[in-house]
Structure 1
Amino acid sequence: MRNIKLRIKFSTNIVVMMLATIGLLSGCNAYLSPDPYVTNSEAPPALESANVIDISGGAKIEFQLPAGVEDILYVKASFLRNGMLQETKVSRYDNSLYVLGLRDTSKVVDVELVVGNSSGKESTPLKVQVKPLTSSIDYALQTMLVEETFGGIRLRWDNPTQATTIVKVFSYGVVEFEGDTILAEVFSEDTKLEIPDYKIRGEIIGGYDSIQTQFGFQFKDIYGNQTDTFFLTKTPIYEEYLEPVATDIFPFKGVSVHSATLAAEDPTLTWDGPNWGNRSSYKLWDGKWNSNGDCYWAVAHDVNNFGGAEAFKNKKSAFVTIDLQKPSKLSRYLIHGMRSKQFVFNESSPKKWRIWVTPDLTEEEAKVWGPDSNWEVAHDFSVPGPIDGKIGSAVTDSDYEIWNMGWEYDLSIDVKYPVRFLRLEVYEAWTSAVGGGAVAELQVYGSPQ
């Protein structure tokens, strides 16, 4: 019996505590969710007028707040978009707001503007009308340019308002399901670029053959609008990855005679950077570019003897030459910097480089270098700086994503002849005090002749 009494007493205490807790929580809830603290029982004055400026996909509405009213909190616009009520608010410190996401340029949209105060009261509405100009997604479809390129297509359009635009590309005949070809999404990207420019080579589905292929294009905005899918048939130009091998056709002529002064006087006094341990030239095409050990170091001069860091700081170039093994019509090249954030827009990552090519097809012919040779610059490139200004480990996600895409250039227009030997010249790294440029990956594509 004593045990029973103890249990009953203990249970009673628990019930009391629970009731007290519930009461406390109820009190907190009431405290945390009070009714508006009314200091002004009257609604604020309405806006007297507003100036509507129709823009792409909506309007900018300018107004003046009622004078002498201190407790105004916001101005709110209410309107229908795709049949659903939408609201846009700005604070008392603004004198304009935007109504966006409207697509039908033939339709006038009614907008109600109200003034709200800190007492939760709103004014009578001022009604205005908006007649939007062509939306960003419709303008994208109107200005879209699709061209055949090596291994796929090139897609461009105009986005003068720099509105966030989502593009999706589809393709027929690349995926089969139960014997039928289906429409598959092969590319998707969102962008604010003024002139977006993408090359779509079917990486998701293993690349495109050089046959007639039907592509579909659709544009979306962030307000739930989308265009119909527009179809075009294009034939990608044939290309393949050109597997390179190392070559020493430009050997270093000896540390004892090599200096920045001599190199400037005699351009034949150059050499392809030495192999630093396991960082030999094949690291340029081993499919890895995560860290320092995955790179090829193109060194300006022997850092242990003459030149070294000072020579590279003064923009004395470093070179590496590769043999593509067979004469090929070049389509493009792609360079990657290291993925490790330490090197993003920083340290030894290459900042400026040139791609040299020659029509000469034998090693003996290609060994000739200098003003009287057949070598010419196919591309001279400087990596744009980070948009957000942060480098290395502090780089922003958006700039890091751009960095990891690498830098690609179409060589097919500038280089008309078959190429066997290609030369990379690095003439500036991101940090001037380093002794060379750590090139993580160089990929060359084209069509063997």
Structure 2
Amino acid sequence: MKIKYYSMLGLAFLSLATLNACKEDKIKPLSENANAPGTVSNISVVNGPGKAQLSYALPKDQDLLYVKAVYTLTNGKEYEVKSSYYNSSLTVEGFGDTNEHIIKVYAVNRSEVASAPVEVKIKPLENPIWGVFRSLRAIADFGGIKIAASNLNKAELAIEILVQKEGKYVPSAKNIYTAAADIDQSIRGLDTVSQKFAVTIRDRWLNYTDTLYTTLKPLYETALSKSAYRAVILPTDVAQEYTSTNLTYMWDGNIIDWPRISLTKTTITTPQWVTFDIGAAAALSRIVIWDYPEYLNAGRTYYYGGNIFQFEIWGSNNPPSDGSFNNWTLLGTYQAKKPSGSAYGIQTSEDYTAANAGFSYSFRVDVPKMRYIRIKNNKNWQGTTFMSVAEVQVYGDPR
């Protein structure tokens, strides 16, 4: 099986071939020249993690169209990478080992006639999936397991999670797809009984790591019914920016529409906080927060404006009427993370999917049952302190 890759410039030139279709709707080359072009020369190699960059000198042929590299991975699949004649380099990738590989490099003219191949040897560095695997940790979490690892190369990868059933490991249908540098995601919805798990990592070329085997018992939790949530307005709590927004909109089930959000005062630049009652004391495990996606660049953008960035979650059973933090217990200090790490105002599809699903923040486990929650925002993504929160869901054990 041959799989082809093209540079953007190469695609632009190759698409011109469709303009020369003959009456029988057969595509003709851009020109008719049966003479093979000269070969590329002076090829140099820079080996990288799971890949290698080839730099070369182009032949002098006037009708040169592109350069292509053809190679075969360990799995037997043949790959082809093309680069326009405007470029003098290309990258071959997808290698799962550090063995020596032979790459065949061709120059191709506008008649799609290829030159004789020039063979070059590469020796890629270790594929990034192995570094991720060595840092991989799987630990019991509320309602599931947590997967944590370091992905310093920000490689696009999949973490596959299998569960043992009837003596066989079967896919859990809860794989993690990410290119984040710091992987910290939880798989929820698992039964709270001891289970055997198998975790492996692969890249998009189907290179796999070894498998991490572990036995874990997910901790019990349930979503605490939002029908019992109530707004609590204490003297030091921050007010809403508009009469159309409301603290109670944080549990109305609407995660995206304006003005069904809680939007606090934008003119206050010191830390802000809001308080609410979950209806009954419970052993709290985590909170899921849905930020409000602002209208930006003809789309909806998270990690922006008043979306909370550096914040604290506090719990209490008897909040003082003066609004102070007496009788409050710090459940956790957090900093929101954008999976792609891209600049402010820019988000990838992975960024959007993560935010739209809600961010889950786990609480300390060494605290008693709590009934009241306080969200204290120290800094938003804009750099001030107001909060634009679309929805919250608190989890725990109310038994």
1:76: Cα distance to partner? 1.9
Residues 189/325 of structure 1: CA separation in 2 closer, same or farther (3 Å cut): same
Residues 96/282 of structure 1: CA separation in 2 closer, same or farther (3 Å cut): same
Q: Which residue of 2 aligns with 1:98?
A: 91
Once the two structures are superposed, residues 234-262 of structure 1 have per-residue CA deviations (whole angstroms, 9 ceiling, x without a partner) of: 12233333445325462x5xxxxxxxxxx
Residues 236/46 of structure 1: CA separation in 2 closer, same or farther (3 Å cut): same
Once the two structures are superposed, residues 42-64 of structure 1 have per-residue CA deviations (whole angstroms, 9 ceiling, x without a partner) of: 43333344222332223222222
Percent identity of the aligned residues?
Answer: 24
1:3-18 to 2 correspondences below 5 Å? none
Q: Which residue of 2 aligns with 1:137?
A: 129
1:155: Cα distance to partner? 0.9
Once the two structures are superposed, residues 135-160 of structure 1 have per-residue CA deviations (whole angstroms, 9 ceiling, x without a partner) of: 23344333322122222211123333
Q: Which residue of 2 aligns with 1:409?
A: 361
1:439: Cα distance to partner? 2.8
1:404-443 to 2 correspondences below 5 Å? 404-412=356-364, 416=367, 418-425=369-376, 437-443=387-393
Residue 37 (str. 1) matches residue 37 (str. 2): no
2:68 and 2:83 in contact (8 A); partners too: yes
Q: Which residue of 2 aligns with 1:357?
A: 314
TM score, norm. by length of structure 1: 0.67
Rounded to whole Å, the distance in 2 between the matches of 1:349 and 1:276 is 17
Residue 392 of structure 2 aligns to which amino acid in structure 1?
A: L
2:311 and 2:375 in contact (8 A); partners too: yes
Q: Which residue of 2 aligns with 1:246?
A: 230
1:272 and 1:318 in contact (8 A); partners too: no
Unmatched 5+ stretches in structure 2 = 1-20
Residues 331/92 of structure 1: CA separation in 2 closer, same or farther (3 Å cut): same
The secondary structure found in structure 2 opposite 1:123 is coil
Q: Which residue of 1 aligns with 2:9?
A: none
Rounded to whole Å, the distance in 2 between the matches of 1:93 and 1:239 is 58
Residue 403 of structure 1 aligns to which amino acid in structure 2?
A: A
1:117: Cα distance to partner? 2.8
Residues 100/332 of structure 1: CA separation in 2 closer, same or farther (3 Å cut): same
The secondary structure found in structure 2 opposite 1:238 is coil
Rounded to whole Å, the distance in 2 between the matches of 1:347 and 1:227 is 36
2:156 and 2:203 in contact (8 A); partners too: yes
1:172-251 to 2 correspondences below 5 Å? 172-173=164-165, 183-202=170-189, 207-209=190-192, 211-227=193-209, 229-243=211-225, 245-246=229-230, 248=232, 250=234
The secondary structure found in structure 2 opposite 1:140 is helix
Residue 230 of structure 2 aligns to which amino acid in structure 1?
A: A
The secondary structure found in structure 2 opposite 1:313 is coil
2:237 and 2:323 in contact (8 A); partners too: no
Residue 43 of structure 2 aligns to which amino acid in structure 1?
A: A
1:172 and 1:215 in contact (8 A); partners too: yes
2:288 and 2:360 in contact (8 A); partners too: yes
Residues 50/356 of structure 1: CA separation in 2 closer, same or farther (3 Å cut): closer
The secondary structure found in structure 1 opposite 2:140 is strand
Rounded to whole Å, the distance in 1 between the matches of 2:171 and 2:113 is 52
Residue 60 of structure 1 aligns to which amino acid in structure 2?
A: Q
Q: Which residue of 2 aligns with 1:400?
A: 352
Q: Which residue of 2 aligns with 1:28?
A: 23
1:397: Cα distance to partner? 4.6
More strand by proportion, 1 or 2?
2
1:250-269 to 2 correspondences below 5 Å? 250=234, 252=235, 269=236
Residues 53/426 of structure 1: CA separation in 2 closer, same or farther (3 Å cut): closer
Residue 191 of structure 1 aligns to which amino acid in structure 2?
A: T
The secondary structure found in structure 2 opposite 1:132 is coil
Residues 333/95 of structure 1: CA separation in 2 closer, same or farther (3 Å cut): same
The secondary structure found in structure 1 opposite 2:133 is helix
1:314: Cα distance to partner? 3.4
1:336: Cα distance to partner? 1.0
2:246 and 2:263 in contact (8 A); partners too: no
Residues 29/319 of structure 1: CA separation in 2 closer, same or farther (3 Å cut): same
Q: Which residue of 2 aligns with 1:257?
A: none
1:144 and 1:157 in contact (8 A); partners too: yes
Length, aligned pairs only: 371
Residues 159/419 of structure 1: CA separation in 2 closer, same or farther (3 Å cut): same
Unmatched 5+ stretches in structure 1 = 1-25, 253-268, 301-311
1:73: Cα distance to partner? 2.5
Residue 118 of structure 1 aligns to which amino acid in structure 2?
A: R
Q: Which residue of 2 aligns with 1:305?
A: none
Rounded to whole Å, the distance in 2 between the matches of 1:417 and 1:110 is 63
Residue 115 (str. 1) matches residue 107 (str. 2): yes
User: Which of 154, 172, 176 in structure 2 is aligned with 1:162?
Assistant: 154
Residues 343/132 of structure 1: CA separation in 2 closer, same or farther (3 Å cut): closer
Q: Which residue of 1 aligns with 2:268?
A: 314
Residues 213/351 of structure 1: CA separation in 2 closer, same or farther (3 Å cut): same
Q: Which residue of 2 aligns with 1:308?
A: none
1:245 and 1:325 in contact (8 A); partners too: yes
Residue 284 (str. 1) matches residue 276 (str. 2): no
The secondary structure found in structure 2 opposite 1:28 is coil
Residue 124 of structure 2 aligns to which amino acid in structure 1?
A: P
